[in-house]
Amino acid sequence: MIIKKKTNWFKMLFEWNGSVLPQLLPRLLLLLLFSLAVVCFKPFLLEHNLHINPAAFTLFGITLAIFLGFRNNVSYDRFWEGRKLWGALLNDTRSLARQSISLINDKEYETKRDEFTNLLIAFVYSLKHQLRHTDSEEDLKRLLENEFAESLKEVRYKPIIILRELGNWIKKAKADGKIDSVTQLAFEENLNKLSDIVGGCERIASTPIPYTYSVLLHRTVYIYCFMLPFGFVETLGWITPFIIVFIAYTFVALEAIADELEDPFGKQPNDLALDTMAEMIENTLLELNDKKINPLKTNSDYYIT
C-alpha cells in the first residue's frame, strides 16, 4: 500500500511512484502512434468523409464517465469493507487477549495465556496468508506448538481450525474451573465475531465484480479512445495526438484503478497493507500480555505491504 506524504501541487504533476501511469504507458504510446497516423492521413479522411462529429463523443463520454464512476465506487466499497473487517479483527483480538488476562486471574495460567495469545496472532497471520494465497508455514511454526503447526500443513482453511483451537482453550479453562458459564459466553461472543470477519473477507476475495461487466466496460473504454482521433482530427490538426492521449489517460487510468482496488487483499501498490496490519496486531497483543514487541519489518516512508 502506498504511504506517502502529499507534496506541493506542482511536484504532484510529475509524481511517478504510486501512480498507475507506468503500467499504462505502452497503451498510451500505442494510442499516440495511432493518432499520429490518423493526422498524417487527414486529407484522405476528409476527402472520403471518414471523420466523426465531435458532438457524438461529448455525449458518449459523459455516459462512459458515469459508468466508470460507478465501477470505481463499487471497487472502493470492496476496499473499504476489507479495511473495516481488518479493523474489527484488531479490536476483537484485543478484546479476547484482554479477557484472557483480566478474567482469568491465575498465576498457573500465565503460560497458557501466552499460548492463547499466540493462537490469536497465528489466526491473524493465517487469515492474511489465506487471502493472499501465500505460504503460512513459517509464521505458524514460529507461533504454534510443533505438533499443531504440522497438523495445519494440509489444512485449507487454517484460520477456522485455529479458531476451533481457541474454542477448545476456553472450554478447557471452563473445565478447570478458571471461568464460569457467563465468562465463557463472553469469550464465545468474540470468537463468533472472528468467524464473521473470516467469512466477510472470504466473501470479498471469492466474489469478484462480474467478468462480463468488466469486459464490457474495458472494450467500451478502448474503442472510445481509439475512435477519438477521427472526431478531432479536422479541428485540432497536429495537436490531436496529445489531446487524445490526455483524454485517454483519464478514462484508462480510472479503469486501471478500479481493477486494482477490486481485490483489496492483493499485493499491488494500492491494496491493503496486510503484512503491516498483521505485525501491528501481533505487537499490540504482545504488549497486552506484557511481552516485548517486535520492530515493524514492513514500515517504510513510501510503501508498506
Residue-level pLDDT at 301: 45
Mean pLDDT, range 12-33, rounded to an integer:
85
Condensed to tens digits (0 to 9), the pLDDT of residues 191-213 reads 999 999 999 999 999 998 888 88
Structure-block grid coordinates of residue 302: 513510501
Residue 135 domain-assigned (yes or no): yes
CA–CA distance, 300 with 305 (Å, rounded to integer): 9
Contact 170, 194 (CB under 8 A): no
User: Over 50: is that where the pLDDT of 302 sits?
Assistant: no
CA distance 110 to 116: 10
Q: Is residue 299 part of a domain?
A: no
For residue 170, pLDDT beyond 80: yes
Range of the domain at 276: 54-222+271-288
How far is residue 180's CA from residue 103's CA, in Å, rounded to a whole number? 10
Domain contains 195: yes
- What is the total count of domains within the chain? 1
Give the tens place of pLDDT for each residue, 270-301.
889 999 999 999 999 999 988 888 877 654 54
**Average pLDDT estimate for 170-189:** 93
Using pLDDT thresholds of 50, 70 and 90, give the confidence band for residue 23: confident
Q: Note the pLDDT of residue 303.
A: 47
Could you tell me the three cell numbers for 284?
499490540
Q: Is residue 295 part of a domain?
A: no
The reply to whether 247 falls in a domain is no
Could you tell me the pLDDT band of residue 9, with boundaries at 50, 70 and 90? low
Write the DSSP string, the chain. Answer: -B------HHHHTT--TT-SHHHHHHHHHHHHHHHHHHHHTHHHHHHTT----HHHHHHHHHHHHHHHHHHHHHHHHHHHHHHHHHHHHHHHHHHHHHHHHHS---GGGHHHHHHHHHHHHHHHHHHHHHHHT---HHHHHHHS-HHHHHHTTT-S-HHHHHHHHHHHHHHHHHHTTSS-HHHHHHHHHHHHHHHHHHHHHHHHHH-PSPHHHHHHHHHHHHHHHHHHHHHHHHHHGGGHHHHHHHHHHHHHHHHHHHHHHHSTTSSSTTS--HHHHHHHHHHHHHHHTT-PPPPPSS--SSB--
Tell me the pLDDT band of 235, cut-offs 50, 70 and 90: confident
Q: Is there a contact between 282 and 275 (Cβ–Cβ < 8 Å)?
A: no
Query: pTM of the entire structure?
Result: 0.87
Within a domain: residue 109?
yes
Give pLDDT tens digits for 60-84.
Answer: 888 898 989 999 999 999 999 999 9
168 φ, ψ (degrees, to nearest 5): -65, -35
Residue 210: which region, alpha, beta or left (left: phi > 0; alpha: psi -120 to 50)? beta
Which residue do the cell numbers 477521427 mark?
A: 230
pLDDT for position 267: 87
- The pLDDT assigned to 293 comes to 84
Q: What is the CA radius of gyration of the chain?
A: 27
Q: Predicted confidence band at 105 (pLDDT cuts at 50, 70, 90)?
A: confident
Asked whether residue 137 is domain-assigned, the answer is yes
CB-CB neighbours of 181 under 10 Å: 8
pLDDT per residue as tens digits for the range 34-44: 999 999 988 88
Q: Does residue 92 fall inside a structural domain?
A: yes
